Structure 1
Amino acid sequence: MERRILFNDLQEPEGPVCLPDGQVYIAEMSNARNCVSRIDKHGRYHLVGQPGWRPNGIAIDGDGNLWIAGGGGKKLVRMKPDGTVLNIYEGPKDYPYLWPNDLAFGKNGLLYLTDSGIDPDKFVEGQVVRADFRQCQYDGRVFEIDPRNGHVLRLIDTGLSFANGIAFDTDERLYVSETVTGNIYRYDLASQVPLEAELFGNVILGSPEGFSGPDGMAFGDDGRLYCAVFGQGDVSVLDCDGKIAERIPTCGMRPTNIAFCEDQKGGAVVTVLDTGCLEWLNLACRGRLLYRPRV
């Protein structure tokens, strides 16, 4: 497979979002930057803005504004493309955000957010995860949010062991990754009965000793789910039945997220934390169309 490094001086990169003109937005989580940056189509680096503490996932709405999980101090931030912060939203008073992680818009125009369910300041220092991570008390959650005012409309799920990546399939079903167990769950948001998490698949290979599991995800137009597996050094590809169809090695052991390119070259980009890279993979498919509603 053809691959190349688009940029290699990023600090704890996450949340890539691709634009039709070939540019890529990236969140840099390190304390030294705490920023959103942009790599242009010529491979040049641009600082966009600093939304606050540990920005993580990014989504773009129909007005071109960025929605950032984790900026502003465990909050949800809406930012203009020039870096101007428009809004900072807190979680519900009875269920405050702990670690806003990743987010995606649904066809209904609502925003869906994962929260890993643990205070990151007590979980990770730099790139070092606490040794007793398996014994931690997680309350990973999935929120449904009205982007017009930032209000949480529904709590989709709770009690997940480090809720992480999030994606929609073509049938509008929501997928969420649970890093500690390696599981990927599916939710039928249109269900008329109380929502239940359906186990879709698992991406863990063997019995890893360190912190390892599914992180960011994206669907290809081939119907398969492409999942960056942190600590395993690959993008694991699940078929429509949730079975592992392929494992694509990445340039480091800690890939954090994947996004399909929207320009003519196609393929997908992967953020890799331990190498500080934005890597491009020449995948055979395009990405599933992302929803970008006007707010």
Structure 2
Amino acid sequence: MLRLFFAISLFAFTGAARAQDASIINPRALFPEGPVMIGDVLYYTEYAGHTVMRWDGKQNTQIWKQDGCGPSAVIPMGENFAVTCYDSGKLAVISKDGKDVASYDKDDAGAALVGPNDGTPDGKGGVYFTTSGPWEAGPIVGRVLHLSAGGKVSEAANDLHYANGITFGPDKRLYVNESEAGRVISFAVDDAGRLSDRRLFVRLYALGEPADAYPDGIKLGPDGNFYVGEYSAGNILVVTPDGKLAAKHTVPSAASPNLTFSADGKTMYVMAVDNKNGAPYEGKVYAVTLK
């Protein structure tokens, strides 16, 4: 019993120490999501505010707003950004100062974009992005799509159970969170950008998370590990390329759906939601010092 008490006390102390490593850079963000760091400037969306925000190290500034969009990610695309509009079913392209450049609501086969959610640059001036489908557990209609630098939107993969976070791994495969399935899968990418060889990477419950653990965003960290944000808890899981849990960062919020890193890799910016019960889904943006 004494050993158990010591273990519980140590766990509580460790959790408190982690919280002390986090500072708040936006104390009331309206469902912050989909961040990216460009130089020393952080860009992120407010899903419930329908905005793209910029933090320059001193203040948060709105650079773009489109009512009804429900933006969930800012994705570098050449000199511009692609912004996923989850609510309106569009992928908007904007300049870095917030001017509209283009907008897409269908792929090249005429299929609607249902629930555009997250994305990652393809390294050639375009982006891969996910569409989750409707906010329900039942339909398995998530997709991965590709927007080329020339403006062509094509399907790259389908039949995903709520496709969400997406990133390239150190092995150059494309990793995608299937949120409703509680897992991360990966694809091989050929020279033409086509996806194949769909494989399971990891199930969150195999890492010791609850059966209902909900992977949201995923990024490749500066240490070569994957960082997986959970919407089901205020956790960022650090997963090695061979699928082992290396660490867990916890922030004092109900959910931590997405994240990104400073240019020097010493700070992790965590998008967090405190109120998951209804709009405007108030939350915070944290800056977490990495050891």
Scaled to the shorter chain, the TM-score interval is 0.7 to 0.9
Q: 1:83 to 1:71 in 2, by over 3 A?
A: farther
User: 2:32 aligned to 2, 9, 13, which one?
Assistant: 13
RMSD between aligned residues? 2.1
Quick check: 44-53 or 157-166, which moved more?
44-53
Task: Determine helix, strand or coil for the equivalent of 1:41.
Answer: coil
Q: What residue is the counterpart of 1:48 in the other structure?
A: 63
**Percentage identity across paired residues of the two chains:** 25
Aligned length: 259
Q: What residue is the counterpart of 2:144 in the other structure?
A: 142
- Residue 254 of structure 1: how far off its partner (Å): 1.1
Spell out the pairing of 1:74-89 with structure 2 (5 A cutoff). 74-89=89-104
- Residue 265 of structure 1: how far off its partner (Å): 7.4
Q: What residue is the counterpart of 2:246 in the other structure?
A: 245
Structure with the larger strand share: 2
| C-alpha distance in structure 2 between counterparts of 1:233 and 1:79, whole Å | 30
TM-score of the superposed pair, with normalisation by structure 2: 0.82
Runs (4+) of structure 1 exceeding 4 A deviation are 191-194
- Residue 257 of structure 1: how far off its partner (Å): 0.5
In the alignment, structure 1 residue 67 sits paired with structure 2 residue 82? yes
TM-score of the superposed pair, with normalisation by structure 1: 0.81
Q: What residue is the counterpart of 2:210 in the other structure?
A: 206
Spell out the pairing of 1:1-295 with structure 2 (5 A cutoff). 1=18, 2-21=21-40, 23-30=41-48, 33-42=49-58, 44-52=59-67, 53-63=69-79, 65-70=80-85, 73-92=88-107, 93-118=109-134, 123=135, 133-134=136-137, 136-149=138-151, 151-153=152-154, 155-190=155-190, 195-204=196-205, 205-208=209-212, 212-262=213-263, 264=264, 266-274=266-274, 276-284=283-291
Q: 1:194 to 1:96 in 2, by over 3 A?
A: same
| C-alpha distance in structure 2 between counterparts of 1:144 and 1:157, whole Å | 9
Structure with the larger helix share: 2
| Matched-pair contact (CA < 8 Å) for 1:7–1:278 | yes
Q: Which amino acid aligns with 1:112?
A: Y
- Residue 6 of structure 1: how far off its partner (Å): 1.4
| Matched-pair contact (CA < 8 Å) for 1:251–1:279 | no
| C-alpha distance in structure 2 between counterparts of 1:185 and 1:242, whole Å | 11
| Matched-pair contact (CA < 8 Å) for 1:24–1:40 | yes
| C-alpha distance in structure 2 between counterparts of 1:79 and 1:191, whole Å | 27
| Matched-pair contact (CA < 8 Å) for 1:72–1:88 | no
Q: 1:109 to 1:80 in 2, by over 3 A?
A: closer
| C-alpha distance in structure 2 between counterparts of 1:85 and 1:191, whole Å | 31
Task: Determine helix, strand or coil for the equivalent of 1:79.
Answer: strand
Larger Rg: 2
| Matched-pair contact (CA < 8 Å) for 2:77–2:127 | no
Q: Which runs of 5+ in 2 are unaligned?
A: 1-17, 275-281
